[in-house]
A and B are shown apart, each in its own frame.
Chain A
């Protein structure tokens, strides 16, 4: 297979471009989208690359249709992705829930910009953290990944497809305008260097009859593919193991929703990923996600120079959230700081995790600029 960009070497590209290339290498062959700053470059790259790898890139009439199209493509057997920013992400929420309920593997990229509404189109923010987790209605479970560099944008996109396929779930890649438009050195691996996971397909008629069952005990049913010979019914209504609407029985609803939770939460140790920096002996912990992590790394170095034992916990997965690990951390440190580019979202998760074992303080910044390292240092040393 020939790729429409160089593989097995480093390049100097924007985060958006890295996400598009990673999707192609992950086997994504269907992209549907509606242009929006600062995610449009993902669409531009997909429009260029897809025809060259026998894939499809299509502009839909809006973001509602975009996510609907990738859900359909996924049921037709394709790995599928869409990308948007805040206003479009809001429109996608209903169908994001439909993807959760129908257990459809898709990847949705949200490149965060200043909001609410059309807000600050060209500037970065982290105001969609809660929306990425809780934006759709009803009890639901999905996976949210958050990169802090262009290399991570590439790597986490591949991981997003793998997790979506493995757990038959939508995965949100939550990034921001800074990473999307930043150019950085990124290594684009050869296909043989990339480990790809493919969805489970029914092995026989019996499995195909239970597309919402649990034949393997891991909570993840094999997914029949439209056009491959099985009769399958897919609905957002509460359904039984065969996919038939059963909307009034409490037991059926509970069994379905609890399995959707269990298939992710039973594997949370594998799904949750974080990086630590100088945290072993830290008395002050900084907890971050995304672009702000890079200011925090520098802040930790500066604080150490001042004799403050600071360390960083950088969250690569923000949902499911490791509340237990945050509590463990809170027992070890004196205080936890949460710098984020909003008025307090990750902060609430960290505070819940800390469970009163350490004081948790928010370092909020909005308006479109990433915290400078000094802004974090000053808050810590007072």
Chain B
């Protein structure tokens, strides 16, 4: 079982943190092999940001994603650049308000979840920057790539001290959205 996950957007959206949390949940709490890699421009905010996670029950050879099974797009630039690299049938989460121009024809081959993620995060926690954790909740809720328990533990480990509860609130809202999508 090798699963490839791509997170992409711009700097400041928590793209890399989301990928670290998912990798940590798999590696530390599920006993799976996991590799997280990242690439970003020299600027800390505003530049393009991309992170990848590969999860497997066997040792991981090539550590990068080739054809992601799951992808998250938080910006138009990321969507336009990487949408066509995802595997047919991939589950793809799109920040609807930040990706106005979509390739709906290509999306027919995918399982696309397009939502105003930033807005939902702000409504849920009062902080738009919990959008990355909300998205992790949706991703894990929909795909079951790791258990909810594992991702909760990894969120607690990785977010800044004192923000655990607010982030878990965002995560659980993501689980709830996933449940509603399934039913």
Contacts and interface: CB of A to CB of B under 8 A. Distances in A.
Interface in B28-55: 28, 31-40, 42
Nearest to B32: A185
Contact of A185 (B33, B38, B40, B62): B33
A183 interface: yes
A165 interface: no
A372 B65 CA distance: 10
B27 A372 contact: no
A282 interface: no
Interface residues of A, number: 20
Nearest to A277: B61
A356 to B, nearest CB: 32
B172 interface: no
Nearest to A182: B37
Contact of A10 (B27, B38, B61): B27
Tell me the interface secondary structure of chain B in the complex: mixed
A318 interface: no
B18 to A, nearest CB: 13
Interface in A306-341: none
Contacts of A183: 20, 23-24, 34-37
Contacts of B40: 122
Question: How many residues of B sit at the interface, in one of the four size bands?
Answer: 20 to 34
Given A12-B28, A372-B66, A182 B35 contact: yes
B126 interface: no
B33 A298 contact: no
A12 B64 CA distance: 16
Interface in A112-136: 121-122
A12 B34 contact: yes
A298 B37 contact: no
A295 B62 contact: yes
A370 interface: yes
Contact of A294 (B24, B27, B61, B66): B61
B63 interface: yes
A184 B62 contact: no
6 contacts: A12-B24, A12-B27, A184-B34, A184-B35, A298-B62, A372-B64
